[in-house]
């Protein structure tokens, strides 16, 4: 209790706190094998899939929401929108390199490096260093001095790739529409990109953007309402944001996510049933806040019950004693005790059978529960009369078919 667990909330990695822990015995669990790992849970444990919450025992073939557990502890840098944010993106999209775990900008002018470093600090809160370097020049045939700004952050590397449409290579990147969240961000992007891969003609009231990625330039032109002929240059007037100027549409604000969506999906390849041999498994349930969900090996799960609606029915209980018998009222109390809580019928059935078999030391126990679920009759599909039947057998009832059949015939004969 009090420990922090990782979870996913709207695709973002968050922490949640364990407020309560409960445990119980279970003879059966399932081993869920996905493309990303293996987890052992109870058969009714809910998994977050692309089609909603699905019990683990029914999850074969489903896509389970997943995030890389190796990246959970990395620092996350949510950006601050504004001119600095746009400028940092513009500089990177024009002259920068996005690696697996870092961003790098190598330029000739120190002033450009300083402006980029300052923008990264303001927009992302990153402390960056400017390094003096030398690099070969194919045009001059010799080493030339330069300046490098390197930012080590796998989170920002993934974020910038997302902004670029998934591929940050200059020939495949797309226009980062995230800068359309506000006008100052787009203004900063135009200035940052022009400083890296553009120029201002003498006496002109605009800048020329240069690039070989014509698809990117075409998207850029649509955003600033500029004419684009399909060549390697795009002229962006200083008044691109003035609505009505020469019939221009001006700045058109759009809403886009600024933080990294770290969730993806992992397909369930197989679900294997595991039955305890000599002693039952001990399984745990966590009640967490502020998020009720948590990750198992990066897979999103939770322990919450499906519905907070009653189920009304009856429980058939039988046992074969091993020297000890119990009063009939105690059997009813056992069922009542496990029923008076948020519960699943499958779990209730198993818990009553386990209590008789273990606590009483019975040679065998059998429990059959028949119930109407109000979630089926008063909401959803609204099917009155739909009865759910669950059963659990322990000890000799599980091993001896004749004994089990005799008990089942007594139960079905009194329906």
Same domain, 194 and 121: yes
Residue 257 belongs to some domain of the structure: no
CA distance 28 to 268: 19
Residue 59 belongs to some domain of the structure: yes
Residue 302 host element (H or E): strand 299-302
CATH code of the domain in which 37 resides: 2.170.16.10
Same domain, 220 and 189: yes
Residue 396 belongs to some domain of the structure: yes
Same domain, 238 and 273: no
**pTM of the predicted model, to two decimals?**
0.71
Same domain, 351 and 404: yes
Is the link from the previous residue into 290 a cis peptide, with omega within 30 of 0? Answer: yes
Same domain, 98 and 231: yes
Residue 47 belongs to some domain of the structure: yes
Residue 328 host element (H or E): helix 328-339
Same domain, 60 and 88: no
Residue 414's pLDDT is what?
61
Residue 136's pLDDT is what?
81
Q: Which residues are catalytic?
A: 304-307, 345, 373, 375
Residue 89's pLDDT is what?
98
Same domain, 107 and 174: yes
Same domain, 396 and 297: no
CA distance 128 to 116: 10
CATH code of the domain in which 203 resides: 3.10.28.10
Residue 48's pLDDT is what?
92
Look up the domain containing 377 and give its range: 311-413
The total number of structural domains in the chain stands at 3
CATH code of the domain in which 315 resides: 3.30.1130.10
Same domain, 132 and 40: no
Same domain, 282 and 397: no
Residue 375's pLDDT is what?
65
Residue 258 belongs to some domain of the structure: no
Which stretches does DSSP call E strand in 35-125? Answer: 38-41, 46-49, 52-55, 63-66, 96-98, 102-107
Token output for 60:
């074969």
Residue 347 belongs to some domain of the structure: yes
CA distance 12 to 2: 22
Residue 143's pLDDT is what?
85
Helices 83-95 and 154-163, axial angle in degrees (round to 10): 80
Residue 340's pLDDT is what?
81
Residue 382's pLDDT is what?
62
Token output for 326:
């119990």
Same domain, 92 and 170: yes
CA distance 55 to 349: 17
Residue 253 belongs to some domain of the structure: no
Same domain, 296 and 158: no
Instruction: List the chain pLDDT tens, one digit each, 415 residues.
Output: 899 999 998 889 999 999 988 888 888 999 999 999 999 999 989 999 988 888 899 999 999 999 999 999 999 989 999 999 999 999 999 999 999 999 999 999 999 999 999 999 999 998 899 999 988 877 778 888 999 999 999 999 999 999 999 999 999 999 999 999 999 999 999 999 999 999 999 988 999 999 999 999 999 999 999 989 888 999 999 988 888 766 677 789 999 999 999 999 999 999 999 999 889 999 998 888 888 899 999 999 987 554 556 788 899 999 999 888 888 899 999 999 888 876 778 778 888 998 888 888 889 999 999 988 776 666 555 667 778 888 889 889 988 888 999 999 998 876 5
Residue 254 belongs to some domain of the structure: no
Residue 175's pLDDT is what?
98
Token output for 45:
């444990």
């Amino acid at each position: 209790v009090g420990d922090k667990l990782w979870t996913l909330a709207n695709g973002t990695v968050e922490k949640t706190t364990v407020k309560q822990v409960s445990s119980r015995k279970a003879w059966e669990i399932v081993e869920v094998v996905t493309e990303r790992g293996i987890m052992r849970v109870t058969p009714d444990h809910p998994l977050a899939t692309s089609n909603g919450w699905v019990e683990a025992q029914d999850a074969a073939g489903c896509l389970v929401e997943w995030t890389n557990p190796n990246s959970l502890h990395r620092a996350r840098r949510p950006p601050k929108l504004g001119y600095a944010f746009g400028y940092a993106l513009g500089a990177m999209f024009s002259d920068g390199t996005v690696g697996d775990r870092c961003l790098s900008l190598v330029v000739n002018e120190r002033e450009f490096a300083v402006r980029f470093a300052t923008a990264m600090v303001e927009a992302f809160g990153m402390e960056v260093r400017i390094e003096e370097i030398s690099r070969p020049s194919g045009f001059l045939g010799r080493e030339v001095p330069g300046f490098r700004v390197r930012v080590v952050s796998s989170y920002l590397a993934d974020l910038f790739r997302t902004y670029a449409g998934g591929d940050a290579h200059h020939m495949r990147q797309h226009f980062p529409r995230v800068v359309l969240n506000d006008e100052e961000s787009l203004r900063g992007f135009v200035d940052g990109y022009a400083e890296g891969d553009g120029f201002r003609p003498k006496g002109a009231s605009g800048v020329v953007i240069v690039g070989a990625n014509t698809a990117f330039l075409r998207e850029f032109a649509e955003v600033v309402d500029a004419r684009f002929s399909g060549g390697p240059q795009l002229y962006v007037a200083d008044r691109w944001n003035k609505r009505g100027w020469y019939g221009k549409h001006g700045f058109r604000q759009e809403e886009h996510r600024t933080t990294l969506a770290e969730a993806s999906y992992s397909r369930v390849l197989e679900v294997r049933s595991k039955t305890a041999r000599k002693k039952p498994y001990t399984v745990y349930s966590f009640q967490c806040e502020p998020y009720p969900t948590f990750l198992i090996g990066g897979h999103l799960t939770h322990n919450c019950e499906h519905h907070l609606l009653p189920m009304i029915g009856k429980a058939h209980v039988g046992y074969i004693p091993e020297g000890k018998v119990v009063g009939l009222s105690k059997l009813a109390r056992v069922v009542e005790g496990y029923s008076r809580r948020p519960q699943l019928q499958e779990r209730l059935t198993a818990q009553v059978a386990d209590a008789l078999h273990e606590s009483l030391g019975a040679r065998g126990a059998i429990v059959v529960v028949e119930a109407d679920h109000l979630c089926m009759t008063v909401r959803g599909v609204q099917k009155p009369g739909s009865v759910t039947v669950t059963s659990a057998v322990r000890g000799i009832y599980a091993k001896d078919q004749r004994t089990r059949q005799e008990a089942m015939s007594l139960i079905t004969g009194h329906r």
